Structure 1
Amino acid sequence: MASLLRAGWFRWMLFLLLLLPLVLLIQALLNGDLGADPAKVIVKDLGFWALFWLWLTLAVTPLRRLLGWRELILYRRMLGLFAFFYGVLHLLAFATFLVGWRMDILLTELTKRPYIIVGGLALLMLLPLALTSTQRMQRRLGKRWKTLHSLIYPASLLVMLHFVWQIRSDFSQQLIFSILLALLLGHRLYLKRRS
């Protein structure tokens, strides 16, 4: 497994896999397969994949420890950047298709729907992580880099809150992701207390 994770072609395969949901969404849009409200589907799907890749980013460290696959760390940055990328697309799709870039509607949404505020705050927290994700920035920031990148934890809690506040009837997806987040953050808390 170690040699597979180190292979250059595996990185490209993962890159294409991370792009696949976007490609499939565009294809469904062009084919008219997004149902009666395509704008809502686009916003929802992009948000889901932002959350999914963020949870996978958080899962790298525990999986690395549990499975002994140290090379997984090579892909954490890519996963995190794709989580941010889908988050930005989610915001842009919301602003374009649901708000039409009208500030009056956006201000109304911000005051009437707190889930939009927490979603925006989460994305703002992830922005410095994306901007400082390079090895050069890691060297430049030194110990502060790790402190800065611990923003992923409160950001993930805000993302979860953003996701939960949108429940209409079926809450099974939110429950699954809440349990996963509790396990991922609980694992880190356990290791921190142990050390």
Structure 2
Amino acid sequence: MMKTKVIAHFLAWFPLGWLVYAIFTRQLGGDPQEKLLHELGGWSLIFFLLSLSMTPIKLLTKKAQWIKYRRMLGLYAAFYLFLHVVVYFSFYLLFDFAELFSEIVKRPYITVGMLAFLAVIPLVLTSTKKAQKSLGKNWKKIHQLAYWIVALGIVHFIWQSKSDLNEPLLYVLWGTVLVFVRFKYKKIQKKVDRNKVN
């Protein structure tokens, strides 16, 4: 398990490592800032979807160890999202808070993106085992925000993608499958619980 986690951490850091390398070797194309912003946002969404995929994979394989990667993947998703926002705020807005507020008001896709970013904060703050224990059932309710974050992230991605919708539509399909599996499992679980009562 330890060896697998080390590999998982390495793979999670790999996109950032490649981006840093690409910056120094000038491989980000004609608009490196936009490419960097796009890549960081994309990887954040991928890690969120991977994190949400752990429960369905556990159900399909009947192996509980997949759940152990859920928190780790969620934190990497938050990390890449944080970098995405930092790149936007620094390179595009030059750390101008007034301009940030103006962009949030004027551009709906920025509004949606910032809502997703704000929703991530409570998930990160309650990601520890201590927080999970102290919050009890409320912890699950808070962490269901992850589905809303993914939905907001996909809307943000589609809105700013303009004509090229191939990549965001893959995320739509992935997210739809996850929601379907989740509700299907809940339906089965409720049926099992009713049978136990009877």
Same fold (TM over 0.5): yes
User: Which of 139, 143, 147 is matched with 1:145 structurally?
Assistant: 139
Counterparts of 1:176 and 1:77 in 2: how far apart (Å)? 23
What is the TM-score when the length of structure 1 is the normalising length? 0.93
Letter in 2 for 1:103: F
**Which position in structure 2 is the counterpart of 1:125?**
119
**Which position in structure 2 is the counterpart of 1:177?**
171
Aligned residues: 189
Deviations 1:43-62 (A, max 9, x none): 11100000000000111000
Counterparts of 2:118 and 2:162 in 1: how far apart (Å)? 26
Counterparts of 1:83 and 1:177 in 2: how far apart (Å)? 14
Deviations 1:44-85 (A, max 9, x none): 110000000000011100011112221111110000000000
1:95 touches 1:101 (CA, 8 Å); kept in 2? yes
2:47 touches 2:74 (CA, 8 Å); kept in 1? yes
Which blocks of at least 5 consecutive residues in structure 2 are unaligned? 191-198
**Which position in structure 2 is the counterpart of 1:46?**
40
Identity across matched positions, percent: 37
Counterparts of 1:33 and 1:141 in 2: how far apart (Å)? 46
Counterparts of 1:107 and 1:120 in 2: how far apart (Å)? 10
Counterparts of 1:167 and 1:38 in 2: how far apart (Å)? 16
1:40 touches 1:98 (CA, 8 Å); kept in 2? no
**Which position in structure 2 is the counterpart of 1:83?**
77
Q: Secondary structure at the match of 1:166?
A: helix
User: Which of 140, 147, 162 is matched with 1:168 structurally?
Assistant: 162
Runs of 4+ in 1 over 4 A off after TM superposition: none
Corresponding position: 1:108 with 2:102: yes
Counterparts of 1:146 and 1:107 in 2: how far apart (Å)? 32
**Which position in structure 1 is the counterpart of 2:196?**
none
Counterparts of 1:35 and 1:176 in 2: how far apart (Å)? 24
Cα deviation, residue 104, structure 1: 3.8
What is the TM-score when the length of structure 2 is the normalising length? 0.91
User: Which of 71, 86, 91 is matched with 1:92 structurally?
Assistant: 86
Counterparts of 1:13 and 1:176 in 2: how far apart (Å)? 25
Counterparts of 2:63 and 2:90 in 1: how far apart (Å)? 41
2:37 touches 2:87 (CA, 8 Å); kept in 1? yes
